[in-house]
Amino acid sequence: MAKIGEGPKPTRMELLALRKRLALAKRGYELLEEKRDALISRFFELIKLRNNLRKDVEESLKQIYEKYKEAKAILGKDIDSVIAAIPPIKNIKISQQYIMGVSVPRIERVEWEPKYTLYASTAAFDEMLTLMKNTTENLTKLIEVEHALLELSDEIMKTRRRVNALKYIMIPKLQQSIKWISLVLEERAREEFYRKKLIKRKKEEAYA
């Protein structure tokens, strides 16, 4: 047991203050647990979304390559110069959004309309560009989700550390201090009781 002078003062006011701090710590622990669980739930939702997006993108890339081969069979070497003439994606805007209170990047919808000369048009080439446009949109969404997962993972780790600090350090320490002060006050109360009892007995003996 700690000695008087080490840690909290063994007074009733200190005991009340520690009990209030303990109640706040327990409430904070509950709220952080709820936050952690909500973050984890959202994290796994995004994992599922990321996996679906990856699958879609991978499938689209395969289809794009197949259409490219079909178009190249018709256009020959000219296809490379036609593709090179297609304007690149420009003006990508990145803003912020919040997921469970966590700031994550948001990529504005990319407006990209690939254009090319009419003489180069073939059904396979048109389909390839349509697939590329759709895949570009899925890629931007995938990038968003990947970054969100990184931020959420970091926030989950921070929240877990705070939960563990409350559960294994702060709350037990407060409980120990409360228990120690309670024991000291009880011991003082017993001593005071016996002291008064002894004084009363001596007075009775003196008047006997």
194-207: average pLDDT = 76
Mean pLDDT across the chain:
86
Tell whether the model's pLDDT for residue 208 goes beyond 80. no
Q: Which of 37-51, 74-88, 141-155, 178-192 has the lowest mean pLDDT?
A: 74-88
Q: pTM higher than 0.85, yes or no? A: no
Half-sphere exposure (CA, 13 Å, Cβ side) for 203? Answer: 6
Q: Please tell me the total count of domains within the chain.
A: 1
Residue 31 tokens read as 């709220």
For residue 45, name the pLDDT band (cuts at 50, 70, 90). Answer: very high
Residue 176 lies inside a defined structural domain of this protein: yes
pLDDT at 115: 62
For residue 131, give the DSSP letter.
H
Residue 132 lies inside a defined structural domain of this protein: yes
Residue 96's domain is classified under what CATH number? 1.10.287.3240
Range(s) of the domain holding residue 106: 12-193
Q: Are 112 and 136 in contact (CB under 8 A)?
A: yes
Residue 206 lies inside a defined structural domain of this protein: no
pLDDT at 26: 98
Residue 126 lies inside a defined structural domain of this protein: yes
pLDDT at 53: 96
52-56: average pLDDT = 96
- Summarised one tens digit per residue, pLDDT across range 90-112 is 667 788 888 888 888 888 766 66
Distance of alpha carbon 8 from alpha carbon 15, whole angstroms: 9
pLDDT at 38: 95
Residue 202 lies inside a defined structural domain of this protein: no
Q: Which of 76-80, 89-93, 148-152, 194-198 has the lowest mean pLDDT?
A: 89-93
Q: Are 32 and 155 in contact (CB under 8 A)?
A: no
Sign of CA dihedral 23, 24, 29, 33: positive
128-135: average pLDDT = 86
Residue 204 lies inside a defined structural domain of this protein: no
Q: Are 43 and 149 in contact (CB under 8 A)?
A: yes
